[in-house]
Amino acid sequence: MASINSDSYSEQELLEQFKGAINLIEDPISNIRIITKNTVISDDDYKSMMKFLSKELNVRVEAYNSDDQTKPWLSINSGDPQITEDLSVRHLAKTQPYNDKKLQSWDTLTQEQTDKLTTESQKTKPDLANHDHQILFQTESDDNVKDSTLKLAFKHPTQTTIVQMQKDGTHRVVYGTQLKDITGKVKMVAVGYGREAEDGTQTLGGRSVDELSANITTISQELNTDATTIKHVSLVGCNLASNNPTDDNTSTYGAEMLQQLEQTGVESMSARSEYVAIGPDGRKLTSSTGTSEWKHKDSKAKTHYSFNELTGEVESRVYNSEGTLVRYNGTHLSNNNSQYQINIALQLSDNETVRNATNALTRKHPGNSYIAKIDDNGNLAVYDLSGNEVSLNVDGKYRINVVAHGSEMEAIGLKNLPSMLPTYKKNSK
């Protein structure tokens, strides 16, 4: 096995280096190991280089991170058409203690990485969903955290600012619009390793809830509050939410964080309950084991936090892939349950679109959902999902979804609709 450090070699230069080394070795070479920092060049360039070397030298080629040489994150056998990528090597969970390095010793972006961002920004990219800009907050100097942050930036390069910040709040912008010049609705994405601290509490990027919320507040204070505000925070690290098979199954990290950030204008937060890795295309992938079966948009691995409009308390929700609520405030819900005792869909017309929407809503919780209709004379009738008229008691916590076209809402009058609901409750007993 031959091993070199390849921070700045071209493919042809690497080939010549290996040929020279092979000529000095009497025994045949079957495996080449490349050890390098994974942020020095892009993933695509690594893959191209490894395919080239494997083909030219007829050997297996492996790429290892310089800070984790236990298993390769990229590998290819001679004759294989594709590179094998092992995301388990690059997920955002770690047992080693956080290294609180001073910011001046952190690696900033290389020229190649900056050029890559420039190239990506000239391509047609999807817009950020529900936000005008994102601030990617790199919490650690670690190569994998930096690489994961960069991959997230490649997905929306023209709508991204990258901030590097050490734990005490010292920070710098290394890419994108300066904080004071950002406008519109902003999403903050904190990227780092999910770890347990010595006292057993959860951390992200070596930060407790107090420390990370203070860091986010520092960034928000540099924004032009007349032009923008941070509305959502995404915590991108492993095992930060409850329903967690690998670490803390009672974690309240996200809920406590949102509560502390309420005064800054943050309205919602999300965290993952499984291992997290960032794919080459910038997509967030999750796995319950951290070794296999990586999934994109696995809804059950993501916990959503928001404020209850009435009480102001933080609520948590987890949905399945069909959009059905399966966990509310830490409690698993059965197929016939939700956080409400009764779910009622008030169907205002018999239009096909309205009927279909009503049916879709009630199917989410078939065991405690009902359809209500008002006839031409203003009489109310309530039906179960089999179409049988029922006498319904709506005591307790209930929800009413009003389903109609906008014109139908307008005909009733949006101002009159709230006054109808108490009468509706009274008449449905």
Longest dimension (CA), the chain: 97
Q: With pLDDT > 70 as the criterion, what percentage of the chain qualifies?
A: 82
Domains and CATH numbers, the chain: 2-85 (no CATH), 103-332 (3.40.50.11050), 342-427 (3.40.50.11050)
The residue behind tokens 């209500």 is 372
Amino acid 338: pLDDT:
58
Query: Is a pLDDT exceeding 80 seen at residue 284?
Result: yes
Residues 61 and 86: beta-carbon distance below 8 Å: no
For residue 271, pLDDT over 80 is answered with yes
**What are residue 387's phi and psi, to 5 degrees?**
90, 5
Contact 153, 162 (CB under 8 A): yes
Share of the chain above pLDDT 90, in %: 28
Q: Exposure of 276 by Cβ count < 10 A (0-12 exposed, 13-18 middle, 19+ buried)?
A: buried
What average pLDDT score do residues 19-48 get? Answer: 73
Q: Are 162 and 173 spatial neighbours (Cβ–Cβ below 8 Å)?
A: yes
Name the more confident of 167 and 332.
Answer: 167
- Please answer whether residues 162 and 174 qualify as being in contact, where contact means their C-beta atoms are separated by less than 8 angstroms: yes
Q: Which residue has the higher pLDDT, 425 or 70?
A: 70
Per-residue pLDDT tens over the stretch 181-226:
999 999 999 999 988 888 878 899 999 999 999 999 999 999 998 9
- Say what the pLDDT of residue 337 is: 53
Work out whether strand 2-5 and strand 31-36 pair parallel, antiparallel, or are unpaired: parallel
The amino acid at residue 376 is D
The length of the chain is 429
Gap between the Cα atoms of 156 and 217, Å rounded: 24
- C-alpha to C-alpha distances, 318 to 10, 209, 262, 272, 273, nearest whole angstrom: 47, 21, 21, 10, 10
pLDDT band at 164 (very low <50, low <70, confident <90, very high): very high
> What pLDDT does residue 429 have?
46
DSSP label at residue 158: G
Residue 426 pLDDT more than 50? no
pLDDT of residue 294: 81
pTM for this prediction? 0.67
Q: Higher-confidence residue: 260 or 10?
A: 260
d(CA 9, CA 46): 11
- Give pLDDT, residue 247: 43
Which whole number is the average pLDDT over 268-283?
87
Task: DSSP letter for 98, please.
Answer: P
Which residue has better confidence, 294 or 410?
294
Question: How distant, in Å, are the alpha carbons of 52, 237, 368, 414 from that of 372?
Answer: 66, 44, 13, 18
- The mean pLDDT of the chain is 81
Residue 293 CA to residue 288 CA, distance in Å, equals: 8
Query: Is the per-residue pLDDT at 6 higher than 50?
Result: no
Half-sphere exposure of 336 (CA within 13 A, CB side): 3
- Determine the average pLDDT of the residues in 54-83: 80
d(CA 302, CA 318): 6
Is the model's pLDDT at 283 over the cut of 70? yes
Least confident of 113-127, 130-144, 337-351: 337-351
**Segment 298-325, tens digit of pLDDT:** 888 889 999 987 788 898 888 888 777 8
